[in-house]
Structure 1
Amino acid sequence: MRIHELGHLVLYVRDLERSRRFYRDVLGWDEVRGEVPLPVPAAAFSSGRTHHELLLIEVGSAAAAMPPGPRLGLYHFGLKVGDSDDELREVVQHLTEHGVDIKGASDHTITHSLYIADPDGHEIELYVDVIPTEEWLADPSLVFAPIRPLRL
């Protein structure tokens, strides 16, 4: 067996409409709409790469919050937003205009990354590739280079 690609993520959310607006209106992800009613309140999103890359399932306001600090489970997921620091600067401006707090910024050598959280606290890495694939494939140690502060 061999994994070909990461297909999709499914996140539980408290308020589907609030999360739908965040992923659609703030992050600009295209929502996949269908006429078939789902058994639970849910919304799907796709960049066009596959049928859906993100599925949100509403679990309601009584759901327990994610505990802070180290824990088992999802730490964050990454969304590629371009291939240059200029594009990442545009993302910073867009997030600021939408009142989204940037929680961190890192230079990972092969990527430059911003970190934000969705309305339920799921951490999201918004990144640009700055090293061509051929380079890190030829030198995989670049993937594990020390993390430095990002200076945009």
Structure 2
Amino acid sequence: MKIDRIHHVAYRCKDAKETVLWYQRTLKMDFVLAIAEDLVPSTKAPDPYMHVFLDAGQGNVLAFFELPTQPPMGRDPNTPEWVQHIAFRVKDRAELLAFKSHLEAEGIDVLGVTDHGIFHSIYFFDPNGHRLELSCPDPTEAEQLKQLDAVKWAMLEEWSQTKRAPKHAAFLHSKEFAEEGKA
């Protein structure tokens, strides 16, 4: 047995229509379908919802639920806002920079470009407060993936025992931190 792929990833939204229009306009995603019910099919709980689905490219689907009878959305106060996010890959740095300019022109605050070594990213929030990331591969991605693959189990074991960041993959951000030290 093996998982084929993710069917969809679902998050909550404040307003289904606003969310669909925002993702269409800002990230160029197509609106795929909507499902609405008064009863939750799996639990039969009376909880009306609108469930919308967006095409995130190459068979990936991003979905949202609007739940008008539930208390307002919130975040886990014990988890920093940078942790939970949805990351989307774009073709290359030129496309990443084009998206950054497009988002900023839409009035969206964008953090980055952040150089993660293996990839480069920008960060921003959707109208529901979900943190989003767009990233593009670094030209040395294939080489770095091999290096990371070689140390993944050792890193996991060291972390498991010490709960301190192992230094096996420090090369990913060493250039960025060295440049910050020069400033």
TM-score (structure 1 length as normaliser) = 0.77
2:130 maps to 122
Correspondence 1:9-28 to 2 at 5 A: 9-28=9-28
Correspondence 1:35-46 to 2 at 5 A: 37-39=35-37, 40-46=49-55
In the superposition, relative to structure 1, how do residues 70 and 140 fare at CA in structure 2: closer, same or farther (>3 Å)?
A: same
1:95 to 89, 103, 123: 103
CA distance in 2, matches of 1:48, 1:88: 15
Give the aligned CA root-mean-square deviation in angstroms: 3.0
Q: Decide whether the 8 Å contact of 1:109 with 1:131 is kept in 2.
A: no
Larger Rg: 2
Equivalent position SS for 2:86: strand
Task: Say whether 1:113 aligns with 2:121.
Answer: yes
Figure out how many residues of one structure are paired with residues of the other and give that number.
145
Q: Deviations over 1:40-79 (max 9, x none)?
A: 31211114422x510111023842321456269x611111
CA distance in 1, matches of 2:123, 2:99: 11
- Displacement of 1:20 in angstroms is 1.0
In the superposition, relative to structure 1, how do residues 105 and 134 fare at CA in structure 2: closer, same or farther (>3 Å)?
A: closer
Instruction: Give ranges in structure 2 of 5+ residues lacking alignment.
Output: 38-48, 153-168
Correspondence 1:1-152 to 2 at 5 A: 1-33=1-33, 37-39=35-37, 40-50=49-59, 52-60=60-68, 62-67=71-76, 70=79, 75-83=84-92, 85-131=93-139, 134-140=142-148, 144=169, 145-146=172-173, 148=176
Q: Which has the higher helix share?
A: 2
Q: Decide whether the 8 Å contact of 2:113 with 2:121 is kept in 1.
A: yes
Structure 1 counterpart of 2:11, which letter? L
Instruction: Give ranges in structure 1 of 5+ residues lacking alignment.
Output: none
Query: Which structure is higher in RCO with an 8 Å CA cutoff and minimum separation 6?
Result: 1
Q: Decide whether the 8 Å contact of 1:31 with 1:44 is kept in 2.
A: yes
Give the share of equivalent positions with the same residue, in percent: 25
